[in-house]
Amino acid sequence: MSPFVQLSFDGPLARLTLTRGDKLNALDQAMIHALADAARTIEETDQVRVTILSGEGKAFCAGGDIGAWGALPPLEMWRSWTRAGHRAFEALARLRTPLIVALTGHAFGGGLELAAAGDFRIAERGVQLGLPETGLGMAPGWSGSQRLVRRFGASVVRRMALAGQLFEGDAALALGLVDEIAEPGQGLARAEAMAADVARRGPIAVQIVKAMINFAEGEDLDAPIEGLAGGLTAMTQDLAEGVAAFRAKRPPTFRNI
């Protein structure tokens, strides 16, 4: 685990925090791998019902640390940077439990792509969101042209990625980039209130509904439908009979129940 990615648990709530505030929480390789590891830990912790992702300091996340990727040769950029970021962000987006992102500071480039992995985004007033990559002569690499388009629409992504426009406050809310605007200093508290609302609901129902929404959105086209099928068959007496017959080395007698 990177020292700049902290994971803690408080009953049904998991807290995932970027703590590289002096560098605007810019992501390096170790942080990317730590995010993937944290997602795996959250997924394997049964009591977790909801996760809050936040960043310390003035920015939620300023994107990828240019010092970490700026000198990489093309093949290494693809192998160890772009693909690693995709794996981490996909693991967060596909958590079986909801992920709430508290934007108490700006989210640019990879930081906005990270925020887009959440199910909800709560931004403090004055927080700016944007995709500045083309201004550096590069393209968004961690789903900025894919997940962001699915979740926010092509028009707003064009405005950010092609024209360099930044959005904040009520404009970001109206465009669907965030789900709620909080006053400065209240973003984390509002995320905690939403997390409490989520945690009070039926946990299995919440997880199943999230899986169905992800499927409808094209976020995960394989695991949700097969997971639901597996769960349904696991409740049948026919499965119990099939397992018992296998163990007894006899033909099963299925009863269609």
Q: Give me 17's structure tokens.
A: 């925090």
Active-site residue 180, yes or no? no
Q: Give me 77's structure tokens.
A: 């950029």
Would you give the DSSP letter of residue 249? T
The owner of tokens 């794996």 is: 87
Catalytic hit among 43, 44, 124, 133 = 133
Distance CA 5, CA 16 (A): 7
Q: Burial of 24 by CB count in 10 Å (0-12 exposed, 13-18 middle, 19+ buried)?
A: buried
In 3D space, the residue among 46, 33, 25, 11 whose CA is nearest the CA of residue 85 turns out to be 33
Catalytic hit among 56, 90, 113, 192 = 113
Distance CA 245, CA 222 (A): 29
User: Within 10 A of 158 (CB to CB), how many other CB atoms are there?
Assistant: 14
Query: What values do phi and psi take at 8, rounded to 5?
Result: -140, 165
Active-site residue 183, yes or no? no
Distance CA 143, CA 182 (A): 26
Please name every residue paired with 8 in a beta bridge, in sequence order, or none if there are none: 15
One-letter amino acid of 167: F
Active-site residue set: 113, 133
